[in-house]
Amino acid sequence: MVWLSIIILVPFIAAIIVPFLHKVFNQKIHIGWFVLFIPFLIFIYLLTYIPSISAGKTFTYLVQWIPTYDINFELYMDGLSLVFGLLITGIGSLVIFYSIFYLSKEREALHNFYVYLMMFMGAMLGLVFSDNILVIYVFWELTSISSFLLIAYWYQRQRSRYGAQKSMLITIFGGLSMLAGFIMLSIITDTYSMREIATQMDLIHGHELFFPLMILILIGAFTKSAQFPFSIWLPDAMEAPTPISAYLHSATMVKAGIYLVARFTPVFGGTAEWFWLVSGIGILTLLYGSINAVRQTDLKALLAYSTISQLGLIMSLLGIGSAILYFGYNDESSVYAIASLAAVFHLVNHSTFKGSLFMVVGIIDHETGTRDIRKLGGLLSFMPISFTLAVIGSFAMAGLPPFNGFLSKEMFFTAVVNTSQLEIFNMETIGVLFPVIAWIASVFTFVYSMILVFKTFGGKYKPKMLEKPAHEAPLGMLIPPAILASLVVIFFFFPNVLANYLLKPALASLLPEEVTAVDIEMKISAWHGWNTELFMTIGVVVIGSILYILLKKWIGLYSVYPQSFTLNRLYDSGLAKMESGAKTITDQYMTGSLRAYMIYIFSLLIFVWGGALLLPGAFSIDVSNDAPVSFYEVGIMGSMLAAALTVLFAKSRLTAIIAVGALGYLVAIFFVLFRAPDLALTQLVVETVTTALFLLCFYHLPKFKKEKEKKGIPFKPLNLIISLGVGTVVTLFAIAANSSRMFEPVSSYFEDSYELAGARNIVNAILVDFRGLDTMLEIFVLTIVGLGVYTLIKLRLARREKDEGAE
């Protein structure tokens, strides 16, 4: 299973190599051809696991990362993660192939595009194959960061920057919320492993933190998968290039929240809270997305809201299916097993038909220069292949036969109808709304699916409103959506092949073991007789057709709703108020005076630390165990005091710097007296280097001029008060810490540095081994600062050369 870790690392390695490939092959060959092999080969490799996974096997692989804290890079492949892995790499291959023909190598920064895309692909693979929840969080945030970069790919456009910022703020907020939930979960279970956490379901359900941590984790899932009310970021993310929309917002990123809910179903499922939150928010999102999709005039905006709606459908099915964990499997609970199977089935179906539709919309935009439905029409004669693909994808989305969306939509109807009749979680009362909302949302889904096809390809051709004459796309842009459209039809006629080899193994990750054997008997078929679900579908088609025909007569109802009460307006106004409020507060204390900043910092230290010393039992003095102070130690302290006073009263910078250096060397002598030669050596080296650097920097500064004293509090007395206060508080804290020890000194642990780390120098061992991660991050921060300084210098030099050239 070492290859499982390699396939996660390969996309990140590719992200590093792509800029070099672009530099070598720029303008010669589209670098997408090189990148294409990465997801394609990973996809082929994952296909080899289907026989084993379908037989009920799972695979694990462990790479130790921070074993002391049980944080390891542990990978786990089961049916659910394999389905997601195939979607990530399979559709990723088609998207890259599509982008080769969609993005021009002459006009686009392709190296940026493929670097961000590879980062995102690697993060998604790491997310779905990780077992450690903290590692999952790391990859989770990597998807947010890389998707931000992808959405802002055309950063010259204000809408692209706005959409990227919006998506990042909402998803990062959800990620931090999810991290808090993960930490609480690990406190309860004393583990970071998802598999071990799932075995402690009873302990989690009975804990007082159960509901808060469940809410926090669900916020993370809902923000990522664009559930109501966090769904507002997805339509604005459509400013990204169409290949990005087809990949992130139909098949991968938005499915990460679905994956999280599915993975945590064995942990939280079987409770009324989880059932109502997941299924209720899901069904509400389904209705919200479908109603708003109808009013859109931009094809990608229409698909964005349709994606929100379809994600809500999948989420509601996961919520309904979780109820089986309440009482196990029996004849009455089979509806929940059907719901869970339908959730996984529609997850795959949605990726196929929505990915195809996004690519078709990209073709329309690429070949006509617009996505505005009001400007389109009559494209059937010019783009017959695109029309065929649009029909397949749209009719599948509408839930019509003979396309795969019909099968999963019928299973959805079966789930909501049967669930509303069960007497559990008060479903006999509020549950009646489930089939009603599902049917209404399906009607609107039918309407916007018809708008997508017939408003675009039917009607009258409007050449004067197009930026360029309409024509069919090149073959390279048609192949990827054609493959996905073919799968839409194939899955309709052969659904149980998909179910037996992929869907049911994935279902085993959601449901108890005793359900698996019974679920094998479940068959997916297009005909179940003249039942309620079929009549609901007929009603959807009839009512939906009428509403589409009469669209112009009732579409104006959308304008009745005041725009000031929309979620987008709430977000914009809230963000604007936060920015203005932050600016007002910042302007009050960011005066530009270094002295003022030091006053704030030291004053806070005096009041907070000094106030802590006033608490009962906070301060005590015990000198019984202290060693006597020798005369030469008093002499060194007197010398240190003299050096410090010299710094204060020096009239030249050179004298002040030398005094500071002398103070550092005197501290090193103290370390020698206290038998800490390692620390003394380190202090001498650091003091020598910093003194030399100070001298170099101050040499280039302008001559020192005393500033006139400002009116108000005198300058020197205020400095004296703050200095004495800080010195007094720090001294009292040192005395209190030395007099009353609550824990064993950490120094006794570091004394064994040679046995623990093989290092004779304790200071070096602390920096390199014991604090290795901290030191690495400090070096990383310094590297970023160095790169920033270098960039600013380069920009200034470039601007100077440009100005000289203009002269």
Q: Lowest-confidence range among 403-412, 547-556, 559-568, 773-782?
A: 559-568
Q: Say what angle helices 158-189 and 133-151 make with each other, to 10 degrees.
A: 180
Distance spanning both ends of the chain, measured CA to CA: 64
What's the pLDDT at 489?
94
C-alpha span between 388 and 453 (Å, rounded): 9
Question: pLDDT digit string (tens) for 472-504?
Answer: 888 989 999 999 999 999 999 999 889 889 988
Angle at alpha carbon of residue 500, lines to 498 and 506, rounded to 5°: 85
Confidence at residue 702, expressed as pLDDT on a 0 to 100 scale: 67
Confidence of residue 119 (pLDDT cuts 50, 70, 90): very high
More confident residue, 278 or 70: 278
Distance CA 18, CA 339 (A): 43
Structure tokens at 167: 């998506």
Element (H, E) at 512: none
What per-residue confidence (pLDDT) applies to 519?
Answer: 46
Residues 694, 657: Cα–Cα separation, whole Å: 7
Sign of CA dihedral 751, 757, 761, 764: negative
Better pLDDT: 160 or 753: 160
**In one letter, which amino acid is 116?**
Y
Reduced to 3 states, what is the DSSP secondary structure of residue 561?
Answer: coil
Domain definitions of the chain by residue range: 2-549, 771-807
Q: Is the pLDDT of residue 330 over 70?
A: no
pLDDT (mean) for 588-617: 84
3-state DSSP of 335-370: HHHHHHHHHHHHHHHHHHHHHHHHHHHHHHHHHHCC
Residue 514 has pLDDT above 70, yes or no: no
- Res 95: pLDDT: 93
Which is nearest to 235 in space by CA: 307, 172, 187, 179? 307
The pLDDT of residue 107 is above 80: no
Q: What pLDDT score does 516 carry? A: 52
pLDDT band, very low/low/confident/very high, at 441 (cuts 50, 70, 90): very high
Q: Give yes or no for a contact between 79 and 508, defined as CB atoms under 8 angstroms apart.
A: yes
Residue 212 confidence (pLDDT) above 90: yes
**pLDDT over 60 at 329, yes or no:** no
How far apart are the C-alpha atoms of 731 and 726, rounded to whole Å? 8
The tokens describing 803, both together, are 């100005």
- Tell me the C-alpha distance between 560 and 480, whole Å: 41
**Strand ranges (DSSP E) for 49-183?**
59-66, 71-77
Q: Please indicate whether residue 52 or residue 631 has the higher confidence score (pLDDT).
A: 52
Q: Residue 349 pLDDT more than 80? A: yes
Q: Report whether 88 contacts 121 (CB < 8 A).
A: yes
Average pLDDT estimate for 156-181? 91
Q: What value does the mean pLDDT of the chain take?
A: 86
Distance CA 786, CA 268 (A): 47
Is the pLDDT higher at 247 or at 422? 247
Residue 332 has pLDDT above 70, yes or no: no
What was the pLDDT predicted at 522?
67
501: tokens are 């080899």
CA dihedral in degrees (229, 231, 232, 234; nearest 10)? 170
If you average pLDDT over each of 330-334, 464-468, 493-497, 574-578, which comes out highest? 493-497
Respond yes or no on whether the N-terminal peptide bond of residue 67 is cis (omega within 30° of 0).
no
Judged against a pLDDT cut of 90, whether residue 40 lies above it is answered with yes
CB 339 within 8 A of CB 429: no
Asked if residues 413 and 317 have their Cβ atoms less than 8 Å apart, the reply is: no
What per-residue confidence (pLDDT) applies to 459?
A: 85
The pLDDT value recorded for residue 313 is: 94
State phi, psi for 152 to the nearest 5 degrees.
-90, 20
Mean of the pLDDT values across residues 774-799?
87
pLDDT score of 85: 93
Note whether 468 and 368 are within 8 A (CB). Answer: yes
* Residues 604/610, Cβ–Cβ less than 8 Å: no
Residue 729 CA, chain-centre distance (Å), reads 43
Mean pLDDT of all residues in 732-742: 78
- Angle between the N-to-C axes of helices 253-268 and 110-129, in degrees from 0 to 180, rounded to the nearest 10: 10
Q: Comparing 318 with 807, which gets the higher pLDDT?
A: 318
Alpha-carbon torsion 508, 509, 510, 511, what sign? positive
Q: How confident is the model at residue 707 (pLDDT cuts 50, 70, 90)?
A: very low
- Residues 352-410: pLDDT tens digits? 999 999 999 999 998 888 888 989 888 898 999 999 999 999 999 999 989 999 999 99
Q: Is the pLDDT of residue 712 over 50?
A: no
Mean pLDDT across 327-333: 58
Highest mean pLDDT among 449-453, 469-473, 617-621: 449-453
3-state secondary structure of 251: coil
For residue 63, what is the DSSP state? E
CA distance 767 to 757: 11
Per residue in 187-196, pLDDT tens?
A: 999 888 888 8
Q: Is the pLDDT confidence value at 805 over 70?
A: no
Query: pLDDT of 258-300, one tens digit each?
Result: 999 999 998 898 888 898 999 999 999 999 999 999 999 899 9
Does the pLDDT of residue 338 top 90, yes or no?
no
Geometric angle at alpha carbon 273, from 272 and 278, rounded to 5°: 105
Exposure string for 367-377, b = 16+ CB within 10 A, e = fewer = bbebbebeebb
